[in-house]
Each structure stands twice: as structure tokens, then as C-alpha cells.
Amino acid sequence: MFEDEILKKIQSGETHMRPRWQFTAQKTLFIIAIILATLLALYLVSFALFLFRHAGWRTTPFLLLIAGIAMVAILEILMHHYAFSYRKPVLYSLIAILTVLFIASISIHRAHIHERLELRAQQRHLPVMGKIYRLHHFPTRTPRMIR
Amino acid sequence: MELLLTDEELAGRVQASDRESFGVLVGRYEAKLIRYGRKFLSEARDIEDLVQDVFIKAYVNLQSFDPRRMFSPWIYRIAHNTFINALHAHRRLPVIPFDFDTFLPRLFAPETTDREAREREVRAMLDQGLDQLDEKYREVLVLFYYEDLDYQAIADILHIPVSTVGVRLNRAKAFLKNHVRR
């Protein structure tokens, strides 16, 4: 009988229940991963759109856009872990993610976030991403244009 | 006393260190999971060993179960993952496993008034044609007809949209009707 064999394994200590805190920690890390993936996707997509608006499609680094799309795909895979996502067709959650990114990108555009970051990059006050902003420097714009 | 408790109440007791209650849960699900494994895997393999693995995994991970939810889809999900791993043990999986029939919203015809007659017809064909079906269609048939689970529970076990469950069932039934007639 299964019941006897399994209870024997449990009572002998051969099989242990994992403690609840491990699952709580896993869930927390998962949520952090979703937040980070969202922020990264938002940054990549808004930055690619920023470059496209100021330099046109010929100089827009499509690699950046592809990286943004890849982050959206990763976000979709992470969200699929939850019932509210997997119970509906993938298209619905994809539309929801893209809608959130679009609205957030508009907010970033209105707040001139990338313009401010570009200014900091020109002043050499922006580590890591500074090089990319300087590569796509737009000399016709001055700090006064950024309110 | 334990026989009167629901699966969720028993799981709650096991989480509070009542190991004997887990034995009751094993007793309740042993036959169901063996039947599920035999019908789904179809190939000759040691189903009892796999089902034992399922119960061990269920015990090890029981603290992740929320007693406010239903226990049945939770343990069937563990069984599904165990059986899928056994099925794919010697096969190459695609780099990004993606099922196109979960992508778009789908319409599926709701059951009509002659449902009972159709169900009897399908059940009669099940054993003859089950082996011929692709695993994703075979599994929904087994869960719906042999395990008597509803669309919502099947969606929770397989982590697919509810509409996809209906679509796969309809396709599987259509295949059986065509195949068995031949």
C-alpha cells in the first residue's frame, strides 16, 4: 500500500517538508524579478523610442528595440506563473503589458527623463549608460530646451 | 473523524505537522493518480513508482499549498509535471516551448441538449483511440472523462486558458470520431 510506504519514508526522516519561509522567499524574489524586468523593459523601449524620435529610424539601434521586445517576452513568461495570466489567452496579457509600457513611456517622455539623462551623460555624470547617450548626442539641443 | 474532513482541511493539518492526515490524502488520491498516469502515459512503464514520486513531491512542497484553494488541481498539477518529465525524459524539447493554441482567444461550441448521448459516444471511443492522440489532446480527454474534472480545474492543472481546454477537447473528440470510424 502506498500509504504505508510513504508514511514510513516521512516518519523515518527520509522525506522532509520544506519550510514555509522558503516558499515565501521564492515568491518575494519572483515579484522582485517581475518588477526589475518591467523597469528594464520600460527603460529599453522608452530609450529606443527617444532615439527614434530625435534621430529617425536610420540611426535607431534596433538591437535596443529587440532587447526591449525580449524583456517583454520574459515578463510575459514570468506573469504566466499566475492564474490571472494563464487562465486567459497569451494575447490578453501581452496587450496588458504593452499598454502599461506605452502609458509609462508617455509619462517618461513628458517628464523629459531621457533628455535629463543625456545631459548628465554629456557632463560625464552618468556611469554605464553614459557612453550610449554620448554616442547618440544631439548637438542642436541645449539644457534650456529641457524644462 | 478524518474521513469527514475535506482535502483542504487535511492538507492544513499536515502543514501543522499531522503526518497521519497525509496518509488519508494518499488513500484518497492513489487510485485516481494511477488511473490518470496509465491513461495519459499509455506506454508500458512503472506508473506506481511515478505516482509515489508525486506523493513524495506533494509532501515535500505542501507548505506552498494555500488551504483556501482547492487541493485537487494542486496535486494533479504535480502529477502532470511528473508525467510530462517522464514522457520527455528521452526526447528533445523545443528551446522555447510555446503552444500557439494558447495565444489567441478561441471560441468553442458549448455543450448542447444531446450532451449525454454525445458523451456516451465519446467514452465508447476513448480506449480505442487514446493512444493515437497527441499528448496535449490525450491529457485533456483523460482529465475530463476519466477524472471528471471541469474546464476551470483542467486549466489550473495545465496552466492554459479555459477556452483552450474547450478547443482541445473538441479537436480530440473530432479526431476520435474520425479515427475510430475508420
Distance, in angstroms, between B142 CA and closest chain A CA? 20
Contact residues on chain A for B60, CB-CB shorter than 8 A: 15-18
On the CB side of B48, CA atoms within 13 Å amount to 5
Q: What is the pLDDT of residues B83-128, one digit of tens each?
A: 999 888 766 555 455 667 787 776 655 555 566 777 777 777 887 8
* Closest Cβ–Cβ partner in A7, A18, A83 for B61: A18
- DSSP element (H, E) containing B40: helix B19-41
Nearest Cα to Cα of residue B106 among B68, B146, B155, B41: B155
B59 and A89 within 8 Å at the Cβ level: the answer is no
Q: How many CB atoms lie within 10 A of CB B11?
A: 23
* Contacts of B125 by beta carbon, 8 Å cutoff, 6+ apart: B176, B177, B180
* Residue B117 sits at the chain A interface (C-beta within 8 Å): no
d(CA A51, CA A114): 9
pTM for this predicted structure: 0.83
Per-residue pLDDT 10s for chain B (182 aa) are 666 899 999 999 999 999 999 999 999 999 999 999 998 886 656 899 999 999 999 999 999 999 999 999 999 999 999 999 988 876 655 545 566 778 777 665 555 556 677 777 777 788 788 888 888 999 999 999 999 999 999 999 999 999 999 999 999 988 888 877 64
What is this model's ipTM?
0.78
* Closest Cβ–Cβ partner in B30, B63, B162 for A18: B63
A10 and B48 within 8 Å at the Cβ level: the answer is no
Confidence (pLDDT) at A142? 47
Q: What is the pLDDT of residues A104-113, one digit of tens each?
A: 988 998 888 8
Spatial contact of A97 and A72, defined as CB atoms under 8 Å apart: yes
d(CA B172, CA B150): 16
Mutation pick from B164, B165, B167, B168 vs chain A, by most beta carbons of A within 10 Å, is: B164
